[in-house]
Amino acid sequence: MNLRFRRGGAVALAATAIVALPAVAVAADGHHDNTSAARQAIKGGKARNVILLIGDGMGDSEITIARNYQVGANGRLAMDKLPLTGAYTTYAVQKDAPAKPDYVTDSAASGTGWATGHKTYNGAISVLPNEKPVPTILELAKQAGFRTGNVTTAELQDATPAVLGSHVVSRNCKGPASMGDCAVNDKVNGGRGSIAEQMVTSGTDVMLGGGKQYFDQTVKAGKYKGLTVLQQAQVSDYQIITDAAGLSSANAKKPILGTFAPGNMDLEWVGPTPTRTGTAPAKCAVNTARPAAQPHLADMADKAIKVLDKQTRYSRKGFFLQIEGASIDKQDHAANPCGQIGETVAFDAAVKRVLQYQKSHPDTLVVVTADHGHTSQIVESPTMGYTATLITADDADMTISYATADISASQQHTGTQVRIAAGGPQAANVLGVTNQTDLFFTMGRATGVK
Ligand SMILES: [Zn+2]
């Protein structure tokens, strides 16, 4: 399907997006004066809810590429409309010399940073460089009486969701049969078990994403020995759902584990593969191979918000919810411009849904950020790297270059600072240049948990 129709829809969507911004005054010189809007956007105090949206690998260039393509260079995505914006550094540290930075982080180390407030080594899932576990914002919020949710388009055992609900020495230890790099965490050795097992015992109220293959592995020791992790979840009172119909019929009475694909969920869009000499200008297309039974990220975000809102309607504390657009990163690795843009646009639809909720629930802190930068760049013409040219919403050609690896290998993360934008109580703490570990303390101050 040609995306001109979709693009038109998205332009209308951007124009009508509901934003918690006060009216911007127009100064005598005809340009906007943002002074009073910024002043009004600064709110201290406690938040009832915190919603954190992570665009994995969504550096400034990934945002700009998606904006140009979808709404044009002068258009604005939903994520562009948060009232307060800053930048944060993302570096990891060296495992054997933790005083020294590792300038290019992965999602595990960066996620451990924003989830726990501690820098760690690449591959670590909420453990310190000495491999000791540290509590996460989700665990602390739950202990303090908040409801919790964790939503992703990746496997639920992938680094970003995993850092909230598990502690292992390597991100590879996704299921009980995949513990080769984590002997110390293996249940057989008295550890807490794999990421999949720990995610279930975390008691998170709503978990939605992929990764069914690891939930289908068999627990090797302890109380649930012989059951699959999915059966463990079932006897632990989870509603298990595996498709979009199950997602819409799931209720707020019991915790929900939705696992919608064996691995990562399928891509929204497809398009040209970059080459050394570039491509003819082309448009992206909807991925018709995506199973209709897989919900989209905005559907999962919507359900998580509805369930958590219902569960907290009569309680003093609200909820903490993380929503990840995971395959922005994965398609940047794959040098797939339309794959990457389609995931960024789907993530932005989830941001729009969250901002609608915030409009009627202004005591919600909303943060939109990334965990690290990535390889894609907008360039003038074919480069030393691999390029593809797309026709944007401006009806102009945009050439995108991937140049951190050969096309047959995985493109690499970059060590740049990334955008962090926020609105609601404590949002002013994202202003200026901070560190991804500071986000833990911003969310902690908003919820009153430490
Ligand atoms: Zn990555």
Q: Cα of 340 to ligand 1 centre, how many Å?
A: 12
Q: How far apart are CA 292 and CA 243, in angstroms?
A: 9
| Residue 14 confidence (pLDDT) above 50 | no
Q: What Rg value do the Cα atoms of the chain yield, rounded?
A: 21
Report the DSSP beta bridge partners of residue 102: 92
Residues with CB under 5 A from ligand 1 (ion): 329
Q: How many residues does this entry show for the chain?
A: 450
Please enumerate in sequence order all residues whose Cβ is within 8 A of that of 33, keeping only pairs 6 or more positions apart, or say none: 24, 25, 26, 27
Give the annotated binding-site residues: 56, 158, 160, 324, 329, 333, 371-372, 413
Rounded distance from Cα 333 to ligand 1 centre (Å): 6
> What one-letter code names the amino acid at 157?
Q
Query: Nearest-CA neighbor of 364 among 431, 308, 318?
Result: 318
Tens-place pLDDT, residues 59-69:
999 999 999 99
What token pair was written down for 215? 């939930």
How close is the Cα of 139 to the center of ligand 1, in Å?
25
Q: Which of 36, 61, 107, 401 is catalytic?
A: 107
Q: Is 76 exposed, middle or buried (0-12, 13-18, 19+ CB in 10 A)?
A: middle
β-strand pairing of 418-423 with 364-370 = antiparallel
| Cα–Cα dist 43/424, whole Å | 6
Cβ 347 vs Cβ 398: under 8 Å: no
Q: Give the per-residue pLDDT at 4.
A: 41
Pairing of strands 386-391, 397-402: antiparallel
Rounded to 5 degrees, φ, ψ at 174 are: -80, -30
248-270 pLDDT, tens per residue? Answer: 999 999 999 999 999 999 999 99
Residue 389: what residue type?
Answer: T
- Name, in order, each residue with C-beta under 8 angstroms of 29's C-beta and a sequence gap of 6 or more: none
Third-level CATH fold of 4-19+49-447: Alkaline Phosphatase, subunit A (3.40.720)
Kindly give the distance from the C-alpha atom of residue 434 to the centroid of ligand 1, in angstroms, as a whole number. 22
* Binding region for Mg(2+): 56, 158, 160, 324
Tens-place pLDDT, residues 397-417: 999 999 999 999 999 999 999
CA of 335 to the centre of ligand 1 (A): 12
Q: What is the mean pLDDT of residues 8-36?
A: 59
Given a cut of 60, is residue 197 above it in pLDDT? yes
The alpha carbon of 173 and the centre of ligand 1 are apart by a number of angstroms equal to 17
Q: Rounded to whole angstroms, how far apart are CA atoms 373 and 207?
A: 26
- Report percent pLDDT > 70 for the chain: 95
Residue among 282, 266, 267, 269 at smallest CA distance from 387: 282
Looking at the chain, the number of H-run helices and the number of E-run strands are 14, 19
- Which has the minimum average pLDDT: 3-7, 83-87, 137-141, 361-365? 3-7
Distance between Cα 180 and ligand 1 center (Å): 21
Q: In terms of DSSP bridges, do strands 418-423 and 84-89 run parallel, antiparallel, or are they unpaired?
A: antiparallel
Determine the pLDDT at residue 31. Answer: 83
Closest by CA position to 148, among listed 334, 359, 315: 315
> pLDDT band at 450, cuts 50/70/90?
confident
Give the residue carrying structure tokens 């939605």.
Answer: 208
For residue 220, what are the contacts with CB-CB under 8 A and spacing of at least 6?
176, 186, 187, 188
If you measure from the C-alpha of residue 98 to the centroid of ligand 1, how many angstroms do you get, rounded to a whole number? Answer: 22
Residue-wise pLDDT for 89-117, tens only, equals 999 999 999 999 999 999 999 999 999 99
pLDDT at 23: 55
Residue 37 pLDDT grade (very low, low, confident, very high; cuts 50, 70, 90): confident
| Statement: residue 287 has pLDDT above 70 | yes
Dist CA 111 CA 122 (whole Å): 10
The whole-number pLDDT of residue 22 equals 52
- Taking alpha carbons only, the member of 256, 350, 274, 366 closest to residue 310 is 256
Q: What is the mean pLDDT of the chain?
A: 94
pLDDT, one tens digit per residue, over 312-331 is 999 999 999 999 999 999 99
Question: Is residue 61 annotated as part of the catalytic site, yes or no?
Answer: no
Distance 193 CA to ligand 1 centre (A): 24
Q: Scanning the structure block, which residue is given the tokens 């940073």? A: 113
> With bands split at pLDDT 50, 70 and 90, how would you rate the model's confidence at 24?
low
pLDDT of residue 426: 97
pLDDT at 11 over 50: no
* Separation of CA 427 and ligand 1 centre (Å): 27
Question: Helix or strand or coil: residue 307?
Answer: helix
Sign of CA dihedral 294, 296, 299, 304: positive
Which residue matches tokens 């998170």?
204
CA nearest neighbour of 206 among 290, 138, 120, 133 = 138
Residue 60 backbone phi and psi in degrees, to 5: -55, -35
- Ligand 1 center from residue 57 Cα (angstroms): 6
Give the SS3 label for residue 226.
coil
| Among 350, 327, 324, 348, residue whose Cα is nearest residue 339 | 327
pLDDT reported for residue 12: 39
